[in-house]
Homo-oligomer: A and B are copies of this chain.
Amino acid sequence: MEEIEVHERKKVKLNKPVLIEGLPGVGNVGKLVAEHIIQELEAEPIVEIYSCHFPPQVLVNENGTVHLCKNEIYAWKSKKQDLLIVSGDQQSVTNEGHYIISEKMLDLAQQYGVSRIYTLGGYGIGQLVERQTVLGAANDAELVDEMKKYGVEFREEEPGGNIVGASGLLLGLGKLRGIPAVCLLGLTSGYLVDPKSAQAVLKILTQALNLKIDMQALENRAEEMEKVVGRLKEMEQAQTPRRREEELGYIR
């Protein structure tokens, strides 16, 4: 195994595709969105990426078979807009690996004539999110203005100064290659898988891409999660009075 190994499963010709990256991360927001799009659009897997910078493990499928930890690229062709969608089991676990894998993804994206990149993720705020919000960052000032039109918020002090992993590197390394790229980060607690935050990100993404994607599956997952969150909120409120006292005591 080379440091990175690309297995092309199918050859496709695409017309200036937009690349959407949704790999595992905070609240699993990015991956939830990418996998939802892949499923709803029935996008085709075209490339598998293996690397010794992924964790040394296999994932067990439901039927008892396994597959080696990997990232995948899916393709979707349409009259309006072709798509490349990146998802996968894990991100690199080494520092160098993050760079190597992101560079390879950009190589592949450029081979397909990529016109723009959207990277998706979550931004953990350490508490339950009151109002669904999508923060943005872009590698081009014009893109910042464009994204504001879709309701993406650009805050001076958030997303905390930096974006880590593929969602960040595809913007940074993409800039050095002249590929316009935006990162959309759904606000999330950071404690739970967050399909509701994923919905918020997906809404903005479909507007920006002028695509129609059924949201029911994500909606269902969000509702299930809401019940869990509801219970957590109850527990939190039950504990709050005591906590406040403790805090005061601490400061006194």
A154 within 8 A of B: yes
CB distance from A29 to the nearest CB of B (A): 17
Q: What is the interface of chain A mostly: helix, strand, loop, or mixed?
A: mixed
| Count of A interface residues, CB-CB < 8 Å | 55
A243 within 8 A of B: no
User: Which residues of chain B have C-beta atoms less than 8 A from A171's C-beta?
Assistant: 58, 66, 68
Within 8 A of B (CB), among A24-74: 50, 52-53, 55-60, 62-69
Cross-chain contact A162 with B60 (CB below 8 angstroms): yes
Cross-chain contact B138 with A56 (CB below 8 angstroms): no
Q: Oligomeric state, in number of copies?
A: 4
A1 within 8 A of B: yes
A88 within 8 A of B: no
CB distance from A23 to the nearest CB of B (A): 12
A12 within 8 A of B: no
Residue from B1, B136, B176 within 8 A of A68 (CB atoms): B176
Interface set of A (CB-CB < 8 Å, partner B): 1, 3, 7, 50, 52-53, 55-60, 62-69, 92-100, 102-103, 136-141, 144, 154, 156, 159-165, 168-169, 171-173, 175-176, 183
- Select from chain B the residue with minimum beta-carbon distance to A91: B56
- Measured in the bound complex, the distance between the Cα atoms of B176 and A164 in whole Å is 31
Residue from B93, B97, B141 within 8 A of A65 (CB atoms): B141
User: Which residues of chain B have C-beta atoms less than 8 A from A138's C-beta?
Assistant: 64-66
User: Which residues of chain B have C-beta atoms less than 8 A from A160's C-beta?
Assistant: 60
